[in-house]
């Protein structure tokens, strides 16, 4: 690894603040992108890191953290493309929220007992069936140790890689000033870190009682043209009772209770997916292609009413807390997360009104074309249940 250096004053990552004068809570988000060569062992390490990174910090004991956040979320989760730290404090304590977040990314203590306990218990953790269906990548805990965890921690939480966002009752500039004060020195960023070859795609063994059946499109960048048309196509395909996936997979084929179309985050950007889960059946291997054919034919019947329905679902999920959304990472009630995450994925600030306007501009033909293109190119995947 070659290291050297861009000299940058203050926080070298991306920071955004959302002043909200009357907000009763403060929300701090840190998005730490995962390396492009992230593999099964890294996933195991990331899970152990997420479990332990907020347990004990340089300036905060576990009891203090619990007291200061007063039962609000203070968590780290592994997403498909990043580690996400989410901290909430009472609104007036926004400085404490930032301080805890900074301590977490800079000075987590990783107590030996907690790391040991995480390494021992994580291999036995079984996600819910739907969570497994969405995140079925293989995970390995083999050889995981505290030194490896610490190395990964330093690699992933490099300040210049981070996207930080905070929402709370502060004045414009106050939160930025506070966060920048943690970085008084010039940041020396190592560059030229060599990546390993991209890992081969592997799935964890399905130990659940339900089969996962899927159509998965190729990965594309968040800056690729046509993102809004793809998203609107996903709303038409899979959001709501009048969507193609609901009408065909659940009602016509009576295949499953839960089936969704998703814009799923990947290390490269996003991929379009249609996922359904059901009790094992003999013909399950043939079902993805059958579903593909039915959905493709359905697209030919899409009309202006389909587009308006998709838009209506999009407005509901983007402006309310409506759950039927193909954007599983989007949370209207957590604007700081959306701000940090959207910047990370697309390079742009998230503008809700502008995004909705862009969706409204997508013509029916483009929506159909994106849906068909996805369906015809998607890989069929079946992960048989027990």
Partner 1 sequence: MISLFAWVAIASHIDSNVETAILPNGSYIYASRRKEASFATLVLTASSRFCPETKATNGQRHLLEHILVEGADGDLDRRLEQAGAFLSASTLRDSMRVTIELSADQLELGIAALEEILKSPTASQKRIDDEIESIGQENALIDDAAELSSAAWEQSYGDMGLDPAGKDMKPGSCKPEQLIALHAKQFAPAGISLVIEGPIDPALAKAEATELLMGRSAAYPVGAPRRSLGGGRIECGAFGEARATPCGPFGSMDQVSKFAAALAIASEVPGSFFTYTPTHAPGEITVGRTDSRNGLGVYVDSATRPQMDDLFERGKRMATQWYERQMRTPGSEAIFRGAIGAGNPNARIEEFLVTLKAMTPSDFAAGFASFGSDKGVTVVGTR
- Residue 91 CB, shortest distance to partner 1, in Å, is 12
Interface of this chain with partner 1, residues 149 to 188, rule: CB under 8 A:
none
Q: Crossing angle, helix 146-156 and helix 112-121, to 10 degrees?
A: 100
- Residue 173 CB, shortest distance to partner 1, in Å, is 27
- Residue 54 CB, shortest distance to partner 1, in Å, is 8
Contacting residue, 241, 348, 379, 386, with partner 1 by CB under 8 A? 241
- Residue 212 CB, shortest distance to partner 1, in Å, is 11
Contact between 322 and partner 1 by CB under 8 A: the answer reads yes
Contact between 128 and partner 1 by CB under 8 A: the answer reads yes
Quick one: CA torsion of 173, 10, 80, 312, rounded to 10 degrees? Answer: 20
Contacting residue, 137, 160, 242, 268, with partner 1 by CB under 8 A? 242
Interaction pattern, residues 24-63, with partner 1; x per rule: CB under 8 A: x--------------------------x---x--------
Sheet of 258-265, strands arranged across: 258-265, 270-278, 211-216, 379-383
Nearer CB in complex with partner 1: 125/203? 125
- Rounded Cα gap, residues 55 and 131, in angstroms: 24
Contacting residue, 28, 49, 274, 316, with partner 1 by CB under 8 A? 316
HSE-up of 339 (CA within 13 Å, CB side)?
A: 19
Contact between 203 and partner 1 by CB under 8 A: the answer reads no
Contact between 129 and partner 1 by CB under 8 A: the answer reads yes
Contact between 142 and partner 1 by CB under 8 A: the answer reads no
User: Count of H helices and E strands in the chain?
Assistant: 14, 11
Nearer CB in complex with partner 1: 94/163? 94
Contacting residue, 34, 210, 232, 236, with partner 1 by CB under 8 A? 210
82 has which bridge partners? 33
- Residue 95 CB, shortest distance to partner 1, in Å, is 20
Nearer CB in complex with partner 1: 101/162? 101
C-alpha 374: how far from chain center: 21
Contacting residue, 6, 7, 9, 70, with partner 1 by CB under 8 A? 70
Contacting residue, 111, 315, 366, 384, with partner 1 by CB under 8 A? 315
Nearer CB in complex with partner 1: 281/379? 281
Residue recorded with tokens 């960023």 = 189
Size of the site for partner 1 (CB under 8 A): 41
Contacting residue, 59, 61, 92, 121, with partner 1 by CB under 8 A? 121
Per DSSP, helices labelled H in the chain are 40-52, 62-69, 94-106, 112-121, 129-134, 146-156, 174-180, 227-238, 244-245, 287-299, 304-319, 335-346, 352-360, 364-377
Q: Which of 310, 314, 301, 303 is nearest to 355 (CA)?
A: 314
Nearer CB in complex with partner 1: 210/367? 210
- Rounded Cα gap, residues 360 and 373, in angstroms: 20
Give the 3-state secondary structure of 90-121: EHHHHHHHHHHHHHHHHCECCCHHHHHHHHHH
Contacting residue, 106, 135, 312, 373, with partner 1 by CB under 8 A? 312
282 DSSP assignment: T
List Cβ neighbours of 116 (8 Å cut-off, separation of 6 or more).
Answer: none
Nearer CB in complex with partner 1: 267/356? 356
Quick one: CA torsion of 372, 373, 376, 377, rounded to 10 degrees? Answer: -150
- Rounded Cα gap, residues 350 and 165, in angstroms: 12
Interaction pattern, residues 288-307, with partner 1; x per rule: CB under 8 A: -----------------x--
Instruction: Point out which residues bind partner 1 (CB under 8 A).
Output: 24, 51, 55, 66-67, 70-72, 117, 121-122, 124-126, 128-130, 209-210, 240-242, 250, 254, 256-258, 277-279, 305, 309, 312-313, 315-316, 319-322, 324
């Amino acid at each position: 690894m070659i290291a050297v250096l861009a000299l940058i004053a203050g926080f070298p990552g991306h920071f955004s603040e959302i002043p909200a004068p009357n907000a009763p809570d403060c929300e701090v988000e840190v998005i730490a992108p995962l390396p492009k060569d992230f593999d099964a062992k890294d996933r195991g390490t990331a899970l152990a890191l997420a479990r332990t990174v907020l347990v004990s910090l340089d300036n905060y004991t576990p009891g203090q953290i619990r007291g200061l956040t007063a039962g609000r979320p203070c968590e780290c989760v592994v997403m498909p493309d990043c580690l996400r730290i989410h901290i909430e404090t009472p609104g007036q304590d926004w400085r404490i929220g930032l301080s805890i977040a900074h301590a977490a990314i800079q000075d987590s203590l990783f107590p030996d007992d907690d790391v040991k306990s995480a390494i021992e218990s994580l291999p036995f953790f079984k996600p819910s069936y739907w969570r497994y269906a969405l995140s079925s990548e293989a995970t390995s805990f083999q050889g995981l140790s505290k030194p490896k965890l610490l190395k990964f921690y330093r690699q992933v939480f490099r300040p210049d890689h981070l996207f930080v966002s905070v929402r709370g009752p502060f004045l414009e500039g106050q939160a930025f000033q506070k966060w920048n004060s943690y970085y008084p020195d010039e940041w020396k960023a190592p560059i030229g870190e060599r990546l390993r070859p991209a890992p081969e795609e592997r799935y964890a063994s399905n130990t659940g009682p339900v089969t996962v059946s899927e159509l998965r499109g190729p990965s594309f960048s968040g800056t690729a043209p046509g993102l809004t048309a793809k998203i609107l196509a996903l709303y038409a395909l899979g959001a709501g009772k009048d969507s193609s996936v609901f009408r065909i997979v659940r009602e016509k084929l009576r295949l499953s209770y839960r089936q969704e179309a998703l814009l799923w985050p990947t290390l490269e950007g996003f991929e379009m997916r249609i996922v359904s889960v059901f009790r094992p059946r003999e013909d399950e291997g043939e079902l993805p292609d059958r579903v593909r054919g039915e959905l493709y034919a359905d697209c030919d019947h899409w009309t202006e009413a389909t587009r308006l329905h998709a838009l209506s679902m999009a407005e509901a999920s983007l402006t309310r807390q409506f759950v039927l959304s193909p954007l599983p990472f989007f949370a209207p009630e957590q604007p700081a997360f959306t701000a940090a995450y959207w910047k990370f994925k697309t390079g742009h600030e998230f503008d809700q009104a502008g995004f909705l306007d862009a969706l409204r501009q997508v013509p029916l033909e483009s929506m159909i074309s994106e849906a068909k293109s996805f369906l015809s190119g998607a890989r069929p995947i079946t992960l048989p249940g027990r």
